Amino acid sequence: MKQMSLVEIRRALHRIPEIGFVEFKTQKLLLEIIQSIRNDRVEIKTWKTGILVKVKGSNPTKIIGYRADIDGLPIIEETNLSFSSMHANEMHACGHDFHMTIAIGVLQHLIENPVDDDVVFIFQPAEEGPGGAEPMLKSDEFKEWKPDMIIALHIAPEYPVGTIALKPGLLFANTSELFIDLKGKGGHAAYPHQTNDMVVAACSLVSQLQSIVSRNINPLESAVVTIGKITGGTVQNVIAENARLEGTMRTLSSKAMDKVKNRVQSLVKGTEIAFDCSAKIDFGSGYYQVFNNEKLTEEFMEFTRTESNVEVIECQEAMTGEDFGYMLKEIPGFMFWLGVDSPYGLHHSKLNPKEDALEVAVQLLSSYLKRKGNEKGS
């Protein structure tokens, strides 16, 4: 396989987005690229559809981890790019094609310019769901090469190219999916008294759920309860026997998340009584908060300020979710935002990050890992 440029790698990956744990084409392409640049200091392991690549250091005292997520989203792409997704209803709408490409660029740099310490590159599947970080952490493959510190980035459409944004401490929220199924008694629209209408029950429940943040969460804390999808009924003149609510919950503390979940359960029980129906709650996938190690983050921010082509900004925490939080829960490290200057945000069908950001990130991370990988006594 001929050596590819960063732009060529990104575009090749962008064409083949795949959802969590079915990233077979993505894994195959990544392995082909890695094989084309590897040498005798490089070891490769696979875990499900993920990949771990260790670059052996010349005099290792620790292992540094770098994580990139590899899955796409079930979104129909509307960018009209010449390299748009070839997969119907799937798109790299969260920038994971960028994340993988940057990891490959830094990997190649470290292969060509070895440092003292071992560096493990973690190409993690299923970040968007159902969550690949937590089970990957528990795998034998990961445990064998478990890093002593770990870092990652996420593209940020709202920041210009050349901007890095992060903060010590909490960066991303605790998150949980929410699915509620209601079952009542359907019937003819002309005889509502003989039925238990689940459209009415669902509408009532949505209104009640919106009271959780305003009336049950400390105003000095932050929380979000959003119902993004409602389905129910079959036809306009039949009272609905079933309804389903789908949403998300986000908080800036695990304690607040527990409170939100408890209130959801109470309100659903109340709906069962009030509308004489049955209900089932599924909290789906939940992600632990991304909490940046203060010492490592401050060191990285100070280092970044010395780089002439990058501006570092201390940002506020965000209600976005990232399963990298599970890795930071066990391993000291940090995540940062990489500016990519797109008018369309994350998870948008027209997201089109500027490719100039690829080289910015590769240069910054290669320089940082050179310093960190040759650092002793830490």
Active-site residue set: 69, 128
Using CA atoms, how far apart are residues 271 and 351, in angstroms rounded to an integer?
39
- Residue 194's alpha-carbon distances to 179, 181, 234, 279, 285, in angstroms, are 27, 21, 18, 19, 37
DSSP lists the bridge partners of residue 251 as 174, 223
What does the block give as tokens for 17?
């987005």
What does the block give as tokens for 160?
């210009």
Helix (H), strand (E) counts: the chain: 11, 17
What are 8-14's contacts with CB under 8 Å, separation 24+? 9/33, 9/100, 9/101, 9/104, 9/105, 10/97, 10/98, 10/101, 10/355, 10/358, 11/83, 12/83, 13/92, 13/97, 13/100, 13/101, 14/81, 14/83, 14/84, 14/85, 14/92, 14/97
- Residue 46's alpha-carbon distances to 38, 123, 312, in angstroms, are 15, 9, 34
What does the block give as tokens for 19?
């959802």
